[in-house]
Amino acid sequence: ILVEEVSTNLYSMQIGNIPPQTEVKIKYQYSVLHEWRDGILRWRLPTVLAPRYGQSGLAPQHEPEVDLLTKHDFTFVLLVEGLLSELPCMSPSHQIKFVREDDALKLSLGYEQDVLNRDLVIHFQQDGHKEVDVFSALWDQDINNQYCALLSLCTPDVTDFVSEPKIIKILIDCSGSMTGESIKQARIALRQIMQEIRPEDKVMIWKFGSSVEKLQNKPVGINEVDDDIFHRIQADLGGTELFKAMNSIAKQGNTFSVKNADIFLITDGEVWNEDSAYSELIDALGNKQRVFSVGVGRAVSTDILNKLAEDTGGSVELVTPDEKMAARITSHFKRLYAPRINLQNIHWPVQPDHVDEYPVIFSGDTAYIGARFKQKPEGEITLNAAYDDARTIAWTCGLSNKAYKTDKEDGVSVLARTIAAKEI
């Protein structure tokens, strides 16, 4: 067996020497950090690799094969433990049954089996309106008998922040893969977004597919937007030339009197990441244009969208047409006006050997920071930060006396593996 990461978050497994009529059972495990946003935890299990537009650049043996006539059935059971098992949950993608088993919640498919043709999504909803920050730390030992710690920070929304006037560049994917409910909900979301844009801001709107079409000739105030543009949002532009479209709009409107510019992208993201095209795009964006993207669909390829958000200081939201998509897009759009929380320094009880780079975080989001130590970290940890308007804020938490639960099968800490992966 050979397992390779052939692209970001894309793995290929080759298996040989299987005799005829032999059943092969493959078991793998991975860990994902929970990311609460606006009081919701969206847990996603990818089940299918949708066809992507463009050249993959992969070796022939790694190239994904697509056969629309092939059908793969699956069954599903999820055991939810701890505080999550007490929260309301639902699935916008599949019919799910819920059964209480002792202190855990067992989730399974509403039908005996389903088909692997869309990602499985489950939402967990926090109770009420929690307006307090949550800052905590876990620690454990790694395989070298050294120590690691993971900080988690979840912040409430800040509503009293006013950003400077800006140009908002809206780019909507109108390629053929957006056909149906996706493009309909994108059109509804665009109308709702128009209600959120402030009078002092300027807006530019494009649609793209195999080509890029400007729906306005220059940046205009919200009252000057032509109502006819909503009827022109159709999934009729062929392929998904994302890099060409993003490059085009990155260079437009920047000579206007408003200095700041944000790009709001709605796409199904089903394109291959081409390193040279991506580098060219980052150069075109410069350091003053953030990218806020919405990944739409039932099998979104998230690698490019996540990387764009990370490299530009923006943010990503994933939605399917089954989960109040228009409302989720509008909620994500409001992040353009939300203050960033700029993490500045951490006071550790002992000096760490390694600390993750500080992530970009907006109010209402979750951030994780991993660290490694030669000595056991004991005592309090303080995290200092500042909002965009220079207001300062600090959080303090203590480390538990007990280590995080170790994986029973191989003795290697889940926490240590997660932090090592982040560092790599």
Q: Which amino acid is at 37?
A: R
Per-residue pLDDT of 7-32, as tens digits, reads 878 889 989 999 999 999 988 888 88
* pLDDT at 254 (0 to 100): 61
Tokens 């938490």 locate to: 397
| Rounded percentage of the chain residues whose pLDDT exceeds 90 | 35
Tokens 């493959």 locate to: 26
Per-residue pLDDT of 338-354, as tens digits, reads 888 889 999 999 999 99
Mean pLDDT, all residues of the chain: 87
Residue 170 region by backbone torsions, left for phi larger than 0, else alpha for psi between -120 and 50, else beta: beta
What confidence category does residue 83 fall into, taking pLDDT thresholds of 50, 70 and 90?
confident
Res 130 pLDDT > 60: no
> pTM for the full model?
0.87
User: How many Cα atoms sit within 13 Å of 224 on the Cβ side?
Assistant: 14
Mean predicted confidence (pLDDT) in 214-240:
86
* pLDDT at 21 (0 to 100): 95
Per-residue pLDDT of 158-212, as tens digits, reads 767 778 888 999 999 999 888 888 888 888 889 889 988 999 999 999 999 999 9
Q: Which amino acid is at 207?
A: K
Q: What is the DSSP letter of 68?
A: T
Range from 27-31, 85-89, 139-143 that averages highest in pLDDT: 85-89
Please, what's the b/e burial string for 321-339 (b: 16 or more CB within 10 A of its CB; e: otherwise)? bebebbebbbbbbbbbbbb
At residue 399, φ and ψ (nearest 5 deg) are -90, 140
What confidence category does residue 262 fall into, taking pLDDT thresholds of 50, 70 and 90?
very high
Q: What is the DSSP letter of 53?
A: B
**The two structure tokens encoding residue 296:** 């739409």
Sorted by sequence, the CB contacts under 8 Å of residue 81 that are 6+ apart come out as 103, 104, 105
295 CA to centre of own chain: 8
CA-closest candidate to residue 306, choices 278, 286, 328: 278
Using alpha carbons only, how large is the chain's radius of gyration in Å? 23
